[in-house]
Amino acid sequence: MKSSVKEPAKTFTTQVNESLDFCDFMPFIVNNSDGTRSFWKVEQPSDYSVACALGEGYARLAFRNAHRFEEGADMFLHMIIIGIAKAGNPGGVEIGFVSEVTKLAMVGYQTVPAATR
């Protein structure tokens, strides 16, 4: 279930593609009435720690589902990060998201053999 969200000043969008239906279940992704998709539209909870925890949860959700994105997992995460940057005025949700993405990336990096880094 998607929550109501306020419209940010700028959003990063792409055309909606029928094969990307999993995006409909991402609470931070919104299909716009003009047929485009915004990869970052969130509402900030008033409690900063709740907002950060929400962002961390969104990051884990994105990582668990990134492989479903037709253009590739890295592109899915890229589009979300660009969406965050374009939306402007980052708050706790964005801080939590980026913080968790960083942690998850470091865990992944540490699993790669040193010779291939």
pLDDT of 48-103, one tens digit each?
999 999 999 999 999 999 888 888 888 999 999 999 999 999 999 999 999 999 99
pLDDT of residue 14: 53
The answer to whether 52 touches 100, Cβ cutoff 8 Å, is no
> Which stretches of the chain are DSSP H helices?
48-65, 73-87, 92-111
Strand-pair category, 13-15 with 36-38: antiparallel
**What pTM was estimated for this model as a whole?**
0.76
Distance CA 85, CA 71 (A): 20
pLDDT of residue 8: 44
Over the chain, what is the mean pLDDT?
83
The answer to whether 91 touches 52, Cβ cutoff 8 Å, is no
Instruction: Read off the amino acid at residue 49.
Output: S
